[in-house]
C-alpha cells in the first residue's frame, strides 16, 4: 500500500501514536530533579519536533510529583504519570491533537481532537 492509498486521517492518527510511543518509551526512566525539569521538557519537545508531520508539541512535567518522589540523591525517574503532553500532527489537510491521558492510574495515549 502506498501513501496515495492511505487516507490522510488514518495516517495522521497513526503518526500521532508513533510520536507519543517514541516519547514515552524514550524518556520514561530518565533521571529528573526539580532543577532539571525545564531542560528535560525542552529536550523532549526538541526530540519529537524532529519527526515527520509534527506541527507542534508542548511537554510539561508535574513538578509536584517530582518533589514527592525524590530519592536521597535529590532526583527521581520520569514516569508516564508525570507527563502532560499536547501534540499536533498534520498529514495533508488533517490535523490530529493527541496526548497522554491518565485512566485508572495508568498513562494512555489519547486523541483529543481531529480536524
pLDDT in tens, 54-96: 999 999 999 999 999 999 999 999 999 999 999 999 999 999 9
Under 8 Å between Cβ of 94 and 8: yes
Domain-wise residue ranges, the chain:
6-114
pLDDT at 40: 98
CA distances from 29 to 73, 78, 81, 84 (A): 16, 5, 12, 16
User: 28-56: per-residue pLDDT in tens?
Assistant: 999 999 999 999 999 999 999 999 999 99
The answer to whether the CB of 78 falls within 8 A of the CB of 30 is: yes
Q: SS3 for 27? A: helix
- DSSP assignment letter at 23: H
Note the CATH number of domain 6-114: 3.30.1300.20
Reported confidence tier of residue 6, pLDDT bands at 50, 70, 90: confident
Amino acid at each position: 500500500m502506498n501513501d496515495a492509498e492511505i487516507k490522510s486521517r488514518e495516517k495522521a492518527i497513526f503518526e500521532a501514536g508513533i510520536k507519543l510511543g517514541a516519547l514515552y518509551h524514550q524518556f520514561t526512566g530518565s533521571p529528573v530533579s526539580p532543577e532539571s525539569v525545564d531542560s528535560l521538557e525542552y529536550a523532549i519537545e526538541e526530540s519529537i519536533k524532529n519527526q515527520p508531520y509534527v506541527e507542534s508539541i508542548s511537554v510539561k512535567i508535574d513538578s509536584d510529583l517530582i518533589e514527592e518522589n525524590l530519592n536521597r540523591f535529590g532526583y527521581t525517574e520520569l514516569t508516564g504519570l508525570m507527563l502532560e503532553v499536547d501534540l499536533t500532527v498534520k498529514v495533508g489537510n488533517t490535523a490530529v491533537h493527541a496526548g497522554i491521558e491518565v485512566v485508572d492510574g495508568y498513562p494512555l495515549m489519547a486523541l483529543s481532537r481531529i480536524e
